[in-house]
Amino acid sequence: MSARLKLTLSYAGFLMVAGVLLLAVVWVFLLRYVPDGNLVSESPGSRPALFVPNRSDLERAFVPRAAAALGFLLVLGLVGGWVLAGRMLAPLARITDATRLAATGSLSHRIRLPGRKDEFRELADAFDGMLARLEAHVAEQQRFAANASHELRTPLTVTQTLLEVARSEPGRDPAELVERLHTVNARAIDLTEALLVLSRANQRAFAEEHVDLSLLAEEATETLLPLAEKEGIAIETSSGPAPTAGSQPLLLQMVTNLVHNAIVHNLPAAGVVRVRTTTDSSGVLLTVANTGPEIAPALAATLTEPFQRGAERRHSEHAGVGLGLAIVESIVGAHDGTLLIEPRPGGGLLVSVRLPASARR
The answer, yes or no, to whether residue 312 has pLDDT greater than 50, is: no
| Tally of CB atoms within 10 A around 2 | 9
- Written as one letter, the residue type at 195 is L
| % the chain with pLDDT above 90 | 16
Report which of residues 191 and 219 the model is more confident about.
219
Average pLDDT, integer, range 276-288: 92
Cα gap 223→221, rounded to integer Å: 5
State residue 259's pLDDT score: 92
Tell me, what DSSP letter sits at residue 345? T
Average pLDDT, integer, range 5-32: 83
Confidence at 272, pLDDT banded by 50, 70, 90: very high
State residue 203's pLDDT score: 66
pLDDT digits (tens, 9 = 90+) for 114-155: 878 888 888 889 988 998 888 887 887 777 677 667 667 767
State residue 316's pLDDT score: 45
State residue 303's pLDDT score: 83
The answer, yes or no, to whether residue 360 has pLDDT greater than 80, is: no
The answer, yes or no, to whether residue 219 has pLDDT greater than 50, is: yes
Report yes or no: 52 and 40 within 8 Å, Cβ to Cβ.
yes
Residue 8 Rama label (left phi>0; alpha psi -120 to 50; beta):
alpha
Cα gap 176→162, rounded to integer Å: 10
pTM comes to 0.58
pLDDT digits (tens, 9 = 90+) for 82-112: 888 888 888 888 888 888 888 888 888 888 8
Cα gap 105→125, rounded to integer Å: 19
Tell me, what DSSP letter sits at residue 294? -
Cα gap 43→39, rounded to integer Å: 13
Report which of residues 361 and 180 the model is more confident about.
180
Report yes or no: 272 and 236 within 8 Å, Cβ to Cβ.
yes
